[in-house]
Structure 1
Amino acid sequence: MIPYGKQQLDAADLAAVQDVLQSNWLTQGPKVPEFEQAITQQCQTQFAVAVNSATSALHIACLALNVGPGDIVWTSPNSFVASANCALYCGAKVDFVDIDIETGNLSITALSEKLAIAKQCNSLPKVLIPIHFAGQPCYLKAIANLAEQYGFKVIEDASHAIGARYQGAPIGNCQYSDICIFSFHPVKIITCGEGGVATTNSPELARTMQMLRSHGITSEATELTEPSHGVWYYQQQMLGFNYRMTDLQAALGVSQLSKLTRFVAERHLLAKWYDDAFAGNTGISPLQQQPYAYSSYHLYVVRLLNLNKTQHKDCVQFLRQQGIVGHLHYIPIYLQPYYQQLGFKAGYCPQAELYYQQAVTLPLFPGLTALEQQSVVETLQHFLENTL
């Protein structure tokens, strides 16, 4: 079976983890700070806060920006549910901005129109969480301009986008946002097994997230509310969580990060091969790549323009029957039963729903062979030729 994505580990990765296993620190040791420092260098940012998942990073990012009851957070419906759930964890409300169907990213036009209406209704968001879908950066400068105009904060959900660039600068540098989030799940660009990181240029946000990831506890002398009782002393100053990353995860992350440039370059070569193979087929439309962006190509998504709902479903099933894990990223979040219980209904974001009816994610990962890629293309084309 050819998966749509998977990790690529080598002897150096295994040795890095083994070194930690043979050390005195399996967790709360030196490897997490080392990984955080490597991330700041990669992203050209001031601070990185490593946690046990991108979901946890999104949660503490919202809390650090004081998201709470009475607030509204906007995000894209074309994402995993964690991009919206993080606001609900804080007691806030969630709303969705429709997408640009050609890229899968949040539509700047839809965002501008929604903000103008929200201002009139006194219902502006406190935070916007745009998604760098499939690894392609969204239009950050336009988002930052709107954030300044309407007074909201920005958390980039870059779970797909470590190694991507916007206008030549690495995603994660937070030039146009307050916080940026990465994921290191095994199907992502690099992996820690599980894990996430929040980057920021704000020392206040960084320190708040550092405390939130570890029960809201500090032992820093300058932060204590009374003189220390001794070298053992600590204080819980906020309600935090056990969201820490282990040294095992961080060691794997450090090793994987050293191969990031090669991984992304290989993904580009694979994506280019797909693009060339589908060129001239008017029924297969790969997501458009924007001139201001350098994608990390976490996913390779095509839209099948001429299939109805049943044929679309049959296509994904056919691929799997032939040993190819075709997938679909994503079901619009608000179509999930939980969100429909909150009042969202079908038709809310028409472009996201049309995208959902057309999109198929094809296998893309370092190590995908030419024969496997050829099989993917021929199998998809065979289905279309015998269906339409």
Structure 2
Amino acid sequence: MSAGFLPYGRQSIDEDDIAAVAAVLRGDWLTQGPAVEAFENALAARTGAAHAVACANGTAALHLACLALGLGPGNAVVVPSITFLATANAARYVGAEVAFADVDPDTGLMRPEDAAAAVARAQAAGWCVRALAPVHFAGQTADMAGLADVAASRGLALIEDACHAVGTQTQGADGTWAEVGACRHGGLAAFSFHPVKTIAAGEGGAVTTDDPALAERLRRFRNHGMVREPDRFTDQDLGFEPDGTARPWVYEMPEPGFNYRLTDIHSALALSQLGKLDRFAARRSRLMDLYAHRLDPLAPLVRPLARVAGCRPAWHLCVALVDFVAAGRSRGAVMAALRARGIGTQVHYVPVHRQPYYRDRYGALDLPGVEAYYARALTLPLFPAMADGDVGRVVDALAETLGIA
């Protein structure tokens, strides 16, 4: 791929992926059919969760998680400010407030002490904090054991934003490894299958959980809030014939939901891609190791994200931490120079608490770890189709642009 333009991320689609989608198009079901259930079963088996509920995208997954937990006005959710808008917006969709947390400036991850401080600030403001929403940023996991302790001591639920981390594994205190999405510490885990993620569905998402009651609520809320089981009908005249036979066409809506269903077309692609997850993760890991090796001589001006102990990441992003001030180059100028060389970059992310909506709602916040991370973040190309030599091309261009070479 060395001769062409290198975007920061892209999907890897093979002929068998195309064949899987074509088979759905030739079949009887384009949506609400067997491919959806097949993908859900495979994802549950892969993650080790009891339940996987597929949905339209990662944002829908986060929204469904908030709905399933019954979050609403008067509640608050702790969210790290280094994340995509969706993590915070999902709380606002249900009327809950967002208590923004600081992060480790070298990993972009919310730490237990960051979560505890955010809870304390929220409670001081009179909010009822109901949940923590840690983000497994770039493919590395937050300290879920520590965050689970924070949650348990305060009676909070856990929503893992695992949209970056399908395929990532973490080591427990007993030394065993578990896949992200196993919900080892309870709660729910939300995934995204956007094309730049580790596996692609086009658009798509899912939520995993071990709690059957939460799984039932997830399924109901993704389908307009409808129930079709006769034993749950409350209107006997509507739901049953005079002889007590259930009317097969009847459905009830105890409370409104959304049309967040995933189609069979997207599910077929996601299922095909899931079968390649190990290969994709291994290739991304190989590229990240090459980046670490090639970036090492550029320290301290440029460093990769710090590695998290007890984590085997299925890397989604390659974030370099660049001291633009010391280099005497603005980030915008560096990105433009790299683009001119055929190298696409991005910044993940603009701190969410600085977005106009949240700034106007909550005012200025002092989150020094967030600001230190954001000032240095630059996302470099990372996707399985990259050649080993592409890493050298990217790092050499970055070094020359920064005036290091």
Normalised by the shorter chain, which TM-score bucket? over 0.9
State the partner residue of 1:329.
Answer: 348
Summarize deviations over 1:318-366 as a string: whole Å, max 9, x none. 1112111111000000111121221332x53121122111110000000
State the partner residue of 2:174.
Answer: none
Summarize deviations over 1:10-41 as a string: whole Å, max 9, x none. 01100100000000000010110110000100
State the partner residue of 2:315.
Answer: 297
Identity of aligned residues (%): 39
State the partner residue of 2:203.
Answer: 194
Partners of 1:371 and 1:135 in 2: how far apart? Answer: 23
The answer as to 2:136 corresponding to 1:165 is no
The answer as to 2:193 corresponding to 1:184 is yes
The answer as to 2:287 corresponding to 1:270 is yes
- Please give the secondary structure, in 2, of the residue aligned with 1:177: coil
State the partner residue of 1:55.
Answer: 59
Name which of 365, 368, 371 aligns with 1:353.
371
The answer as to 2:8 corresponding to 1:4 is yes
Displacement of 1:294: 1.0
Partners of 1:214 and 1:124 in 2: how far apart? Answer: 29
Displacement of 1:111: 2.1
Displacement of 1:139: 0.3
State the partner residue of 2:243.
Answer: none
- Please give the secondary structure, in 2, of the residue aligned with 1:217: coil
Partners of 1:300 and 1:177 in 2: how far apart? Answer: 29
The answer as to 2:222 corresponding to 1:204 is no
Name which of 251, 264, 271 aligns with 2:268.
251
- Please give the secondary structure, in 1, of the residue aligned with 2:282: helix
Summarize deviations over 1:171-225 as a string: whole Å, max 9, x none. 0001113000000000000011000000001111100110100011111223222
The answer as to 2:45 corresponding to 1:27 is no
Summarize deviations over 1:125-151 as a string: whole Å, max 9, x none. 211110000000110000111111011
Displacement of 1:314: 1.3
CA contact (8 A) 2:78 2:115 kept: no
Aligned pairs (5 A) from 1:60-209 = 60-116=64-120, 118=122, 123-167=127-171, 168-209=177-218
CA contact (8 A) 1:4 1:327 kept: yes
Bigger shift: 221-230 or 264-273? 221-230
CA contact (8 A) 2:290 2:388 kept: no
Partners of 2:88 and 2:267 in 1: how far apart? Answer: 26
Aligned pairs (5 A) from 1:300-379 = 300-307=318-325, 311-345=330-364, 347-379=365-397
State the partner residue of 2:305.
Answer: 287
Specify whether residues 185 and 206 from structure 1 end up closer, same or farther in structure 2 by C-alpha distance, changes over 3 A only. Answer: same
Q: Report the TM-score, using the length of structure 1 for normalisation.
A: 0.96
CA contact (8 A) 2:74 2:127 kept: no
State the partner residue of 1:215.
Answer: 224
CA contact (8 A) 1:115 1:124 kept: no
CA contact (8 A) 1:59 1:89 kept: yes
Displacement of 1:116: 4.5
Partners of 2:53 and 2:352 in 1: how far apart? Answer: 27
State the partner residue of 2:21.
Answer: 17
- Please give the secondary structure, in 2, of the residue aligned with 1:302: strand
Number of aligned residue pairs: give it: 386
- Please give the secondary structure, in 1, of the residue aligned with 2:218: helix
Q: What one-letter code is carried by the residue in structure 2 that aligns with 1:77?
A: S
Specify whether residues 119 and 341 from structure 1 end up closer, same or farther in structure 2 by C-alpha distance, changes over 3 A only. Answer: closer
CA contact (8 A) 2:74 2:97 kept: yes
Unaligned runs of at least 5 residues, structure 1: none
Q: CA RMSD in A?
A: 1.6
Partners of 2:153 and 2:126 in 1: how far apart? Answer: 14
Name which of 16, 41, 45 aligns with 1:37.
41
Specify whether residues 247 and 106 from structure 1 end up closer, same or farther in structure 2 by C-alpha distance, changes over 3 A only. Answer: same
Displacement of 1:313: 2.1
Q: What one-letter code is carried by the residue in structure 1 that aligns with 2:377?
A: A
